[in-house]
Amino acid sequence: MNTPKSKQSIETAKVIIGGQTLSCPIITGIENEKALDISELRSKTGFVTYDEGYSNTASCLSGITYIDGENGILRYRGIPIEELAQKRTFVEVAHLLIFGHLPSESERSDFSKLLTSNCMIHDNMVKLFDSLPSSSHPMATLSAMVVTLSAYYPELANPEMDMGQMNKIIAELLAKIRTLAAYSYKKSIGEPIIYPKRKYKYVENFLHMMFSTPVDEYPIDQEVVDALEKILILHADHEQNCSTSTVRLVGSSQANLFASISAGICALWGPLHGGANQAVIEMLESIVREGGDATKVIEKAKDKSSSFRLMGFGHRIYKNFDPRANIIKEICDKLLAKLGINDPCLEVAKQIEEAALKDDYFIQRKLYPNVDFYSGIILRAIGIPTNMFTVIFAMGRLPGWIAHWKEQCESPKKKIGRPRQIYVGAPLTHI
Ligand code: CMC
């Protein structure tokens, strides 16, 4: 694997602080994005930088995903998301993100075999599901089960373990996450778990474990498989978002893969991040219940005396449009038409989008529908319950988390993540 590099640059920027001048190298990314290297700032001047929410801080050099938020561009390993969503499967995209290239025919077949042969989980772990209350949110169950997997891989404690062994464990995690996700759901509805089947591919197997019962086998519909496949691809990576940065930060202490990913799942759960897909549907459902008037919600979202936000709108990076949202909207229209579903939530969502895109509040703040705005309507049409939406996001994001964890492990510059703070508490106080 190539270590990510920036373009060689001779440019520098001068930072003048308290009569001192510091020369900071300028780092230039492959698409000409520029950063000021301030790594010597504190040692040379005593100052640190302050950047709440890290809006202006690059925490690493990475060769995995490129985003241009102004122009709505998203590429995995250089390949536009539109092409990947149209032409590749989720398993191929996972291979691309984790190993740096799309698999050849033989690599694809070997990788698929590895995923199929490792989709079972240890029977002792299956019993753990019984010890959780059925009211447990599937994200709580999933994060707990993923960190529990560490217990089944004692070799992770071996600092001499090579990347070949690690790659096998990575494939096993990718294989098992859909089993854990589906079991979380089955347990939450009190149904017996359904074992995976060798005959099914990645997404088909997940649907089978979710919806088959001991008496009926779920009829696989290719249209549904394609829609879910695309949703997973669109979520597969998004560079240094909250959960991925969490995975990297936890991993930077050399915590094992499962512990780092479990932390990422917890970070994803929040409604400002992956939890937004559940929040969007809950918001749309409540509008439909109350008669379908979208204007009230728009007004509430603009009201600064309320903490309410229009869920599924806005993004830290995208300030024009979210390319994932455009693709998702198309999938949504196509799938609902194919399945003959007339979902009132879709109507309300379209009304909200139309009204918000004309509204000065949203225009001035560059707030557009994000990936979560229409994804919930697709998941609902497939029959996935609302509390599983963020689990689907987690399954999709797993290859990205793994790729970032691996990139960091393989980097020669291993540095524990440790931001600074500005202390604003009590001054020296004696007891
Ligand atoms: N509804 C109403 N106002 C909003 C919204 C919204 N959804 N999003 C941002 N704003 C306003 C915000 O109040 C602020 O206004 P002002 O300048 O008057 O104080 C301004 O826009 C800038 O907001 P911000 O919170 O500084 O922006 P951010 O970049 O820190 O937050 C965000 C990004 C995604 C957390 C935010 O837009 C949001 O809360 N959206 C709703 C939740 C959501 O849909 N999250 C999913 C994100 S996409 C999936 C993922 O990658 O996680």
Fold designation for 7-58: Rubrerythrin, domain 2 (2.20.28)
How many Å lie between the centroid of ligand 1 and the Cα of residue 120? Answer: 39
Contacts of 145 by beta carbon, 8 Å cutoff, 6+ apart: 125, 128, 129, 180, 183, 184
Catalytic positions, written as ranges: 315, 372
Tell me which architecture the domain covering 276-382 has in CATH: Orthogonal Bundle (1.10)
Q: Residue 8: is its pLDDT beyond 70?
A: no
Does residue 397 line the site of ligand 1, with CB under 6 A?
A: no
The tens digit of pLDDT for each residue in 239-263 reads: 999 999 999 999 999 999 999 999 9
pTM: 0.94
CB of 225 closer than 8 Å to CB of 207 = yes
Atom of ligand 1 nearest to the CA of 314: 37
**Residue range(s) of every CATH 1.10.580.10 domain in the chain:** 79-269+386-410
Encoding tokens for residue 54? 């890290």
Q: Taking the alpha carbons of 240, 269, 197, 226 in that order, is the dihedral positive or negative? A: negative
How many Å lie between the centroid of ligand 1 and the Cα of residue 73? Answer: 19
Does residue 367 line the site of ligand 1, with CB under 6 A?
A: yes
* pLDDT level of residue 2 (50, 70, 90 thresholds): low
Mean pLDDT value of segment 403-421: 94
Does residue 315 line the site of ligand 1, with CB under 6 A?
A: yes
The tens digit of pLDDT for each residue in 114-148 reads: 999 999 999 999 999 989 998 899 999 999 999 99
Distances (CA, A) of 200 to 172, 196, 220, 339: 17, 8, 10, 22
| The amino acid at 277 | N
Give me the DSSP letters along 326-389: HHHHHHHHHHHHHHT---HHHHHHHHHHHHHHH-HHHHHTT--B-THHHHHHHHHHHT--GGGH
Does residue 272 line the site of ligand 1, with CB under 6 A?
A: yes
The tens digit of pLDDT for each residue in 196-222 reads: 999 999 999 999 999 999 999 999 999
Nearest alpha carbon, ligand 1 atom 39: 272
Q: What pLDDT is attached to residue 10?
A: 75
**At the fourth CATH level, which superfamily is domain 79-269+386-410?**
Citrate Synthase, domain 1 (1.10.580.10)
Q: Residue 52: is its pLDDT beyond 80?
A: yes
**Residue range(s) of every CATH 2.20.28 domain in the chain:** 7-58
How many Å lie between the centroid of ligand 1 and the Cα of residue 1? Answer: 36
- Distance (Å, whole) CA 205 – CA 112: 12
**Residue range(s) of every CATH 1.10.230.10 domain in the chain:** 276-382
Share of the chain above pLDDT 70, in %: 99
Outline where 189-241 has alpha helix (H): 202-211, 222-235
Nearest alpha carbon, ligand 1 atom 45: 272
How many Å lie between the centroid of ligand 1 and the Cα of residue 254? Answer: 32
Does residue 376 line the site of ligand 1, with CB under 6 A?
A: no
The tens digit of pLDDT for each residue in 89-116 reads: 999 999 999 999 999 999 999 999 999 9
Q: What pLDDT is attached to residue 374?
A: 92
Q: For strand 20-28 and strand 79-80, is the pairing parallel, antiparallel, or unpaired?
A: unpaired
Q: What pLDDT is attached to residue 90?
A: 98
The tens digit of pLDDT for each residue in 334-369 reads: 999 999 999 999 999 999 999 999 999 999 999 999
Does residue 370 line the site of ligand 1, with CB under 6 A?
A: yes
Encoding tokens for residue 224? 């549904």
